[in-house]
Structure formats: structure tokens, C-alpha cells
Amino acid sequence: MSVLMGQMMERPLLISSIIDYAAAVYGDIPIVSRDAAGLTHRYSYRDASVRIARLAHALTGMGVKPGDRIATVAWNGYRHFELYYAISGIGAVCHTVNPRLFRDQLVHIFNHAEDRLIFVDPSLLPLVEGLAPDLSSVESVIVMSDAADMPESALGNILCYEKLLEGQPESIDWPSLDERAAAALCYTSGTTANPKGALYSHRSTVLHALGSVVGQDGWLRPGQVFMPVVPMFHVCAWGYPYACPLSGTAMVMPGPRLDGASLHDLIEGEGVTLSAGVPTLWYGLMEHLRKTGGTLTKLKALVCGGAAPSLALIQEIESHGVEFLHGWGLTETSPIVTTCLNSTLPENLTPEERQRYKLKQGRPLYGIDVKLAGEGGKTVPHDGESAGEILLRGNTVISGYYRDAEASEASFDEDGWFRTGDIGTLNAAGTLQLTDRAKDLIKSGGEWISSIDLESAVLGHPGVAAAAAIAIPHPKWDERPLLVVVPVEGQDVDKGSILDYLRGAVASFWVPDDIAFVDEMPLTATGKISKRQLRQRFEGYKLPTA
């Protein structure tokens, strides 16, 4: 069958087009960065585009070719932003590396990606120096610093970022690349095996940025000031370094200091209206406000994703007059898949019901299809009750892992849908709610217990600062939950009061068989509670009911 073709131009969706657009249309909008020493740097999207052009020329001059992988090991700051655009703009691949990974994982990632250059923040140079003897492909290390502040280093092949830019032309005609060309690379944090690479294209990145501007209720627009607390070394800071210039949103880059006091200081000082990060960071900010009696006079909304928030966290954030926005996604999905926003809540809910509803992960962005699969691939009804594994398909979802046939083989169903490994429900309105990660499920007497719901419930107890439920083998029930709890500092909480609290809040068979107190939770490289480490620590634990 022949179709009548549209008569429209076709221009490739390229990352370089975002910074060109921002420079032309939002040229005066600022990017503010705070560095490790607490110093503040200010410039505009126009200034950034000039330095990006100079950096792109410098990279080409160093022999960087399309497809080469160029690594960054850096906090959120303006030079990291410049690297995002200059590297991808000339057709090379910006490979962001998470400095919090274990040494073996870091060595594996650099060698697997075959990075030619590493750009590193001065404070992270010792890390790279320690790895250097084991890196097989790296030709030079470039310190993201000016000449005066270059640190001493025993590395022979070390260069200075600002020196590279000196004398380079201030504008550039970007190459017209295939929009499907690779632009950025990020490895998962490898909670179960070696990290796996998600290789984003120009097209997927631009579509994700457009989708996320639309899917965040108009929060990204001129006049708004956004602070990415989510790191630029993990899933491109959830795509905000692309979505902000595209939408004319100003940016405040927090550098390495992410404690409650530093974040509060930046939010108030720089007039941040919107920010995004994992729940652990927002617990830190809330704790700081509680201790100091601080207020949030500028902030209008907080995006929370990466791990499940508790109802108590949603309530505390909103008690400051700040709207809570919930998001869900994975490294493999660019990452944002769903958002839960005030505008998408059902009508006629009480204020408390509205906050409870925001425990749901929300509805997908345009261009992503979601379905649930039961055991043996059976379809699961979208009734808001039945749970299944969440499968995805869309322009911003990986089609395979970078150079990893085995992992790719295991991660897609026979129709090519990506298997997320997350378990959840979907209601008739297309709203998703996660109940667990497949590997964290607790199965008691043939029935699932949702560790996410159990943790959210117990965080409403005033003496509980953090909580994680893990499965412990049980002779009668197969598995029963053990609840690991970090008590609020200085509070004397006992098991009985927590169990009593839970008896009123969750189904009786969900009430954990025991509670173990710890001083702090082990965290993953992306700041989430590491259940794998908890399971190792409590291996062989004897439940009182066993």
C-alpha cells in the first residue's frame, strides 16, 4: 500500500540544537555553580554556549573522533555541563562515571567503555590516580580547573581544562550527525552483578527532554530556578541539564555539598523554586529544617524519585508549602518514565488522600507504553490491585545493553518489551504504583508482602528515621519480614511500640516477625538503601517465630 508522504523538512534531533536554541532564545538565563570550596560561579546560557564551542574545538584538536567514549568524573557544576554538550555535540560519547562505585566496578566500567580521556574534578583526582595503573585505554586525564589551581599529581599525562580552552574559536558549526548516533553512556550501579551500560542516542535524549518538560506540569519554564541535586554522574541528572536550557529554566548546580544545611542555604540564597533528588536527600533537608526551625520561602516544588518516598516525607515537605512531585524511572529509561503531579490527581480527594495518592509513581510520559506481566508472561489486569512485573516500550528505553549480549538477552520479553524488574499495579487511569523490586520481594505463605508499603507505613512512627524490610527464610511460611530500623537520634524507641503502631496500619500478616536496630543504613552508590548489603549482614538471622 502506498501512502501519501508529508511535505515537511526533517532535521535531526541533536543535543547541540538544545544549547544553540538556549543561547539564541534564553541567552541571559543564568547557571549558578557552587564548587567544593564553597565559591560561586555565575554565567548565562549564552556564555556557556561560547565555552562549549571552545571546548568542542579543543576536543577535536586532541583527536577526539565521533563514537569515542570520553569519561567524566565530576559533581554538578558548569564545567560538567559544558562537557555534556561539547562531547556529544562533536559526535563523541559523554560517559559519566559515578565516583561512589567500588574500585573494581570503576575499573570494569572504564575498561569496558574503553574511555580515551577522563575529565575529573580536582577533588576527585586522587580517585582517578588510584585507578590509573589498571586502566587500559585512557590516554590523558584532564583536571577541571584553571591553571592557578591545578593540583599536584604523579600522573604523567595530565592536562588543565582551562588551558585547553585558551585561544579556541568562540563559535562552532556543529556536525549534522545521525540523530540515532550515541551521545551519552551511563552504567547502572550494579546492585546484583557488574554494572551494565545504557547508551543514549541524540534522539532519545532530545525526546526525553521534551517529554519531561511536558510531563512536569509546566514547572520547567522561564522564571523558574531549578537545582539538580540528583548527580550529573548518574543518568544525566535525570535529563535536567537538557530539559532546563530547552525550556528556559535557570539552573543552580550544588557541587559536592549535599547535606541539609548546604542545600537549604543554596535554595534560599539563590531563590531555587524547584529541585530534584532521591528521598535520602530530602530526609536530610527536612531534618535540618526541624533542627534549626528553618523555612523554605522560595521553593515551590520538589521532585522525588529513585526510591520510594514515605507518606511522612510527603506530608513534611508539603507542610512547608512545597508541592511534592513524584517520579519513577531507571538508568535504562533515560530515566523518567512516570510522574505523579497535583494536576493528575483524581478530584474530590481530601488533603490527606491527595498526599497518600502521591505515593503512587504516576502516569507515563508521552511515548512510553507500560504493561504488567504475571508469572509465565501472563497479562495482569489494570485494576489497581493486581501486581505484575512492569514492562516498557518507547523511544527513551534501551534496546539492549552496551556490549553485553548476556544481560541484553535476559532483559526483554519475546515482543521486545524491556523488563524493568520492578513490580507494581496499574489502575484504570493509567497510574502506576510500585510495590517492590522483583529481587526484594517477600513471599509469606504464598502471599506477597510489599516491602515498599511496609517501610512507608513504619516511617510514620515518630521514633523511626529510616527503615527497610527484608525477607528472612522461615520453616513454616517460607519467608517472613525482618524490619531493620534506624531510630531517630536521641530517641529511645522499643520494638513493642513499633509493632503496635504497625498493627493498626498494615494487614496483620505483614507485621514483621522481628525488628533489628542499626545505627545507619548501608547505601548504594546512588544514595539508596542497599538491601543486598542488609541481606548479607542478616544472613542466618534467627527470627523469634522460627
Indicate which residues carry an active-site annotation: 188, 332, 443, 448
Choose the stretch contacting ligand ADP; rule: CB under 6 A; options: 2-10, 221-229, 344-352, 523-531: 523-531
Determine, following the binding rule CB under 6 A, whether residue 480 of this chain makes contact with ligand ADP: no
Residues numbered 347 to 366 that lie near ligand ADP (CB under 6 A) are 361
Determine, following the binding rule CB under 6 A, whether residue 308 of this chain makes contact with ligand ADP: yes
Cβ neighbours for 324, distance < 8 A, ≥ 6 positions apart = 301, 302, 304, 309, 314, 317, 318, 355, 358
Number of residues in contact with ligand ADP under rule CB under 6 A = 20
Q: How far apart are CA 370 and CA 363, in angstroms?
A: 9
Answer for which of 228, 305, 481, 487 binds ligand ADP (CB under 6 A) is: 305
- 463: its cell numbers: 521514633
Name the 3-class secondary structure at 142. strand
Residues numbered 175 to 204 that lie near ligand ADP (CB under 6 A) are 188-189, 191
Q: How far apart are CA 431 and CA 530, in angstroms?
A: 27
CB of 326 to ligand ADP, least distance (A): 6
What is the DSSP code string of 322-373? -EEEEEEE-GGGSSEEEEE-GGGSPTT--HHHHHHHTTS-BEEPTTEEEEEE
Q: 239 vs 55, 209, 212, 334, 348, CA distance in Å? A: 21, 6, 8, 7, 33
Answer for which of 183, 307, 449, 484 binds ligand ADP (CB under 6 A) is: 307
Answer for which of 215, 255, 277, 306 binds ligand ADP (CB under 6 A) is: 306
Choose the stretch contacting ligand ADP; rule: CB under 6 A; options: 162-170, 221-229, 492-500, 520-528: 520-528
Answer for which of 68, 179, 422, 453 binds ligand ADP (CB under 6 A) is: 422
CB of 17 to ligand ADP, least distance (A): 27
Three-state secondary structure readout of 169-183? CCCCCCCCCCCCCEE
Determine, following the binding rule CB under 6 A, whether residue 106 of this chain makes contact with ligand ADP: no
Determine, following the binding rule CB under 6 A, whether residue 435 of this chain makes contact with ligand ADP: no
**Residue pair 142/159 in contact by the 8 Å Cβ criterion:** yes
CB of 159 to ligand ADP, least distance (A): 31
Answer for which of 138, 526, 530, 534 binds ligand ADP (CB under 6 A) is: 526
256-284 burial string, b = 16+ CB within 10 Å, else e? bbbebebbbbbbeebebbbbbbbbbbbbb
Residues numbered 279 to 298 that lie near ligand ADP (CB under 6 A) are none
CB of 413 to ligand ADP, least distance (A): 16
Determine, following the binding rule CB under 6 A, whether residue 16 of this chain makes contact with ligand ADP: no
**Residue pair 395/204 in contact by the 8 Å Cβ criterion:** yes
Contact set with ligand ADP (CB under 6 A): 188-189, 191, 305-308, 326, 328, 330-331, 361, 420-422, 434, 437, 524, 526, 528
